[in-house]
Structure 1
Amino acid sequence: MKVNFLGTGTSQGVPVIGCECQVCQSLDFRDKRFRTSVFVETDQTSLVIDTGPDFRMQMLRAGIKKLDAVLFTHEHKDHTAGLDDIRPFNFSQQMDMPVFGRKPVLEQLQREYAYIFNDKKYPGVPQVNCIEIDEHAFHINGIGITPIPVLHYKLPVLGFRIGDFSYITDANFIPEDSYKLLEGTEILVINALQKESHISHFTLDQAIDQAIKIGAKKTFFTHISHRLGKHQDIEQELPEGIFLAYDGLELILP
């Protein structure tokens, strides 16, 4: 299984428009972050978790030509705003795109993208097949996927486990039952927004504590704000086995 980090930034991305901080002015490519998304590819299938505002550029930059499904963690705009750009996959693959999400997520998509779901569709609009999921495990083309319920302040969000790879973004609380679902994870991805406290995201220290508690062999932090600091500086502060993800990072899992 191959995992490609399409984006590792927070809702504003990095650099932030108009910001002149040292992170936003950095020349290190690892400090340039699209909105958070990840592409997962196996021999059987390929899928993307979340289609944020940068989805089109992420697909082009990664050279992705085939996409079998979209999974949504939650309904916030920085995770859904790129859905319209699945159209080239509709055309090239001659299929409706399977879109997986909890009921509130699918309802939000139907409101924001009403033109997709109208009875009388304008020619060329995205073609989707909405598939409601809950907290039960499911399959996409034979690939087992386990939802991991977490909280983003008071908003329920789903992380996903695929084999020994677990992905959690936009969270500041993990219920005890979800820790059981994470047992044995080899590669963990979890959000680490900034060093200062935040109402709906793990801070750097909190993310480190979560990584240690979950005990994956390797942990990568994502959904990173410009307030966290420069990539090269923060990585030197991290414990062994914990890393900052960056856009374009690829992982190969057995």
Structure 2
Amino acid sequence: MTITFLGTGTSQGVPVIACQCEVCTSADAHDKRLRTSVLVEGDGKVIVIDSGPDFRYQMLRQKVMHLDAIVFTHEHKDHVAGMDDIRAFNYKQQSPVDIYADERVQQALRREFPYIFDEKGYPGIPQINLHTIGLQPFDVGAVRFTPIEVMHYKLPVKGFRIKDFTYITDAKTITGSEVAKIRGSKILVINALQKEDHISHFTLEEAIAFAQEINAEKTYFTHISHRLGRHAAISKELPPGIELAYDGMQLQI
């Protein structure tokens, strides 16, 4: 099974258009971070976790020709805003795309995209099959997802474990019972927003501490603000077994 990082960045911080910092002006492709999302391919399924504002370009850039499902972590705009662009897959595949989200996220999707859920069925709107998830494991075809609840300040957010791969964005605190679901992962992906303290995200120091607690064979940091610094510079500060993820990076699980 292949995991591709479609995006490793975040909306946090000064917009790139107005910023002249060393990250935003960097020529290093590792510093060109779109909003956080991953592509999961294997066991006969093509699945995306989160469809943020960059979703359309991410799918074009990665040359994704088929999409079975989107699994949502939470309802913030940088994770759901691109869902409308599944309509191209509907047209090509002549079939709906499966959407997996908890009840709170579904309510947000209905507010954000009311026309998708309109009973009149306006022609050309995205076609979806909506599936409700909670904290129990669920299957997308033969791919089993184990939800992991983390706290994004006061908002519960879902991470997911697939086999020995755990993917978490937007975490600030994780209870012991949920940490137990992560232990034994060979690959951990966790958010590391910036060095300065933040109310709803792990800082670099906190992410390193959590990675060392879990002690996966490899840990990759994602949901990276430009405030963290350039990929090359930060990489030199990381302990063995921990790396910054970058857009287009692929893992085998």
TM-score (norm 1): 0.97
The aligned counterpart of 2:200 is 200
Unpaired runs of at least 5, structure 2: none
Aligned-partner Cα distance in 2 for 1:244–1:22 = 17
Shift of 1:16: 1.8
Shift of 1:44: 2.0
Aligned-partner Cα distance in 1 for 2:13–2:37 = 12
The aligned counterpart of 2:142 is 142
Unpaired runs of at least 5, structure 1: none
Secondary structure at the residue paired with 2:18?
coil
Structural mapping, 1:177-192, within 5 Å: 177-192=177-192
Counterpart amino acid of 2:222? T
Shift of 1:13: 8.3
The aligned counterpart of 2:128 is 128
Shift of 1:51: 0.1
Shift of 1:43: 3.1
Aligned-partner Cα distance in 2 for 1:13–1:168 = 20
Task: Say whether residues 1:233 and 2:244 are aligned partners.
Answer: no
Aligned-partner Cα distance in 1 for 2:122–2:184 = 47
Shift of 1:45: 1.0
Shift of 1:252: 1.5
The aligned counterpart of 1:72 is 72
Change (3 A) 1:95 1:76: same
Answer yes or no: is the 8 Å Cα contact 1:99–1:128 preserved in 2: yes
The aligned counterpart of 1:42 is 42
Answer yes or no: is the 8 Å Cα contact 1:15–1:24 preserved in 2: no
Aligned-partner Cα distance in 1 for 2:114–2:139 = 28
The aligned counterpart of 2:95 is 95
Q: Spell out structure 1 runs of 4+ moving beyond 4 A.
A: 12-15
Task: Say whether residues 1:22 and 2:22 are aligned partners.
Answer: yes
Aligned Cα root-mean-square deviation (Å): 1.2
Aligned identity (percent) is 58
The aligned counterpart of 1:52 is 52
